[in-house]
A and B are shown apart, each in its own frame.
Chain A
Amino acid sequence: MGQTIAEKIFSAHCKKECRAGDVVMAPVDGAMIHDITGPLAINVMKEMGGGKVFDPKKIIMLFDHQIPADSISAAENHVMMRKFAQEQGIHNYDIKEGVCHQVVPEKGRVKPGDIIVGSDSHTCAYGALGAFSTGIGSTDMAYVMKFGELYFRIPDTIRIDANGKFQNRVGPKDLILTMVGDIGADGATYRALEFCGRAFRDMDIPGRMTCANMAIEMGAKAGIVPPDKKTRDYLKGRCDYTPFDLESDGDAAFFEERSYDVAEISPKIAVPHNVDNVVDVSEVAGKHIDQVFIGSCTNGRYEDFVEAAEVLGDRKFSDDVRVIMVPASRDEYMKVLKAGLIEKFVDAGALFEAPCCGPCMGGAFGLLAPGEVSLSTSNRNFRGRQGSTASFVYLSSPSTAAASAISGVITDPREV
């Protein structure tokens, strides 16, 4: 019987035939730590006996959640991680490059067929490039840093076949929100997703990153797009990569198969307080919002800001809304800057910040007061996620966020 992409990746790493359900000790090609979960991983590695990391070249370190340091304790954590990087010979991107899930692909630290782990749940994002990448906790990360391998239960696969062309001002975020709504917050727990079909083949790498990023919002361990020419073009100049075929065999066994015609998808929004509470934007249109956040590892790329700028046109953002924009990396920041978009956004009334996680996780800045409502292009709307547990977070595409920021109420982007 044939194999899924996940089974093929684990078989290649473990040098034996691996099947869904098998528990294996597999070597990893990369391990990412950031300023929130990294210090704990470093402390636990010391508890495990310390010593040298398995391969400093395979450890990716950067700070993105609380940068520039927003408290003395955050600054102390940064100092502690810098010292560890220096002692171990690990390259540290520090606070300078941006959000982990944008920086890791951008710097060529992931390629198709890799197994990558990160102590951040959205590590599944690198599936956009055909890798098996997954989020782990700090103790698992300590084990990986010391030994270079980890236990995995090879997941079953849910295959998504998406075809057709998106309507104007509808895109990858609306598609992935549709899937989260259908599959549910735990519908893919302990499973991998394969994102296939014409709609994914036509989708650019940033759009694939948006989708793979949110696999975890269905509980999935990974969300993988089969690599193709777009993947090769993206990786050119970033890393050494010899292309090889990586897709599921025709007779591979899937746990479930689902298909979508993306032409039928209208703008979607996740309403408080669960990511799978997904409805059409039109169902909540007119709802007042206090803050709009365009950014994060889900939607903080150049293409997302272009999308917002197209909706904005020559208009201004509403005086009643605080618009906070944060690009996902320094490279993305420069692209937005060179395209003249920062001037346009600031002129329209937005705050344009330096690359970081920003308001997404309610730690650093842009927190919400009780009763306030945020519309965000990020990935989670849990109660209290962006501040007070009495505040409300809605999730949408950059187009919907921009349209709503103009009118001051939740607005279908096709209607502005």
Chain B
Amino acid sequence: MGRSWKFGDDIDTDAIIPGRFLTIYDPKELASHAFEGTRDEFSKEAKSGDVIIAGRNFGCGSSREHAPLALKGAGIGFVVAKSFARIFYRNAINTGVLPIVCEHTDKIPDGSEVSVNLPEAFIEADKKRYPLEPIPEFMMKIVEAGGLVEYAKMRGNK
């Protein structure tokens, strides 16, 4: 259980983590600059279990993996949005910040009490349930392995 952080459409990766912080790789340190200048309270108040709720095209722009890492460092385990930009979607799967498509994000206000139930594919916000779209089968293999690093380790050196 955590709080919802509500965002609009077209949230770009420059907003999630500005270009001047890209020499940093530590998720916690990146998290201290997440949404700097566009939503300063996020880095101060976000905590483990919180969920990002967004509109269309979340994570558009740069391929910087610093973006999902910054969210991970802030304790975000799930981003629930109407749609995702392609590169962010893969980066998020690979780094273990799960991007989940949900067409009902308009109905979830900022600051609600939310929790994601992945096996049963719903998000509960202020005691109301909204269905989630399943993660595509081939991406689920990576999720189930624990991310692409673990998936690669299972493959070994073949």
Contact = CB atoms under 8 A, between A and B. Distances in A.
A385 B37 contact: no
A120 interface: yes
B149 interface: yes
Interface in A146-195: 146-147, 151, 153, 185-186, 189-190
A49 B152 contact: yes
Given A137-B65, A382-B61, A185 B19 contact: no
A153 to B, nearest CB: 8
Nearest to B21: A363
Interface string A254-267: 00000000000000
A103 to B, nearest CB: 17
A365 to B, nearest CB: 11
Interface stretch (A40-48, A83-91, A241-249, A304-312): A40-48
Interface in B31-86: 36-38, 56-57, 60-66, 83, 85-86
B10 A274 contact: yes
B137 to A, nearest CB: 8
Contacts of A221: 86
A362 interface: yes
Interface residues of B, number: 41
B152 to A, nearest CB: 4
Contact of B25 (A39, A65, A153): A39
A385 B57 CA distance: 18
B90 A363 contact: no
A43 B138 CA distance: 25
Given A36-B22, A363-B22, A384-B38, A49 B85 contact: no
A282 interface: no
A143 B152 contact: yes
A326 interface: no
A270 to B, nearest CB: 13
Interface residues of A, number: 53
B153 A383 contact: no
B128 interface: no
A121 B149 contact: no
Contact of A185 (B23, B60, B149): B60
A219 B85 contact: yes
Nearest to B20: A363
Given A139-B94, A140-B148, A389-B37, A219 B15 contact: no
A376 to B, nearest CB: 14
B2 interface: no
A66 interface: yes
A121 B152 contact: no
Contacts of A43: 25
Nearest to A380: B61
A362 B148 contact: no
A113 B85 CA distance: 25
Nearest to A123: B63
Given A185-B57, A274-B10, A383-B15, A40 B91 contact: no
Nearest to A75: B23
Contact of A382 (B12, B20, B65, B149): B12
A121 B138 contact: no
Given A51-B157, A66-B23, A362-B20, A136 B148 contact: no
Given A48-B152, A140-B94, A189-B86, A37 B63 contact: yes
A119 interface: yes
Interface in A363-396: 363, 367, 380, 382-385, 388-390
A73 B37 contact: no
Interface in B1-32: 10, 12, 14-15, 18-20, 22-25
Contacts of A388: 37
Contacts of B149: 44, 47-48, 139, 142
A121 B61 contact: yes
Given A36-B22, A71-B23, A221-B86, A49 B63 contact: no
A384 B64 contact: no
B67 to A, nearest CB: 9
A102 interface: no
Contact of A219 (B18, B60, B94): B60
Interface of A: 23, 36-37, 39-40, 43-44, 47-49, 51, 65-66, 71, 73-74, 76-77, 119-121, 123, 135-140, 142-143, 146-147, 151, 153, 185-186, 189-190, 219, 221, 274, 361-363, 367, 380, 382-385, 388-390
23 contacts: A36-B64, A48-B149, A48-B153, A49-B153, A49-B156, A121-B61, A135-B87, A136-B63, A136-B90, A139-B91, A139-B147, A139-B149, A140-B90, A143-B152, A147-B152, A153-B138, A185-B10, A186-B56, A367-B20, A380-B14, A380-B61, A389-B37, A389-B38
Closest 3 CB pairs of A and B: A389-B37, A137-B91, A73-B23
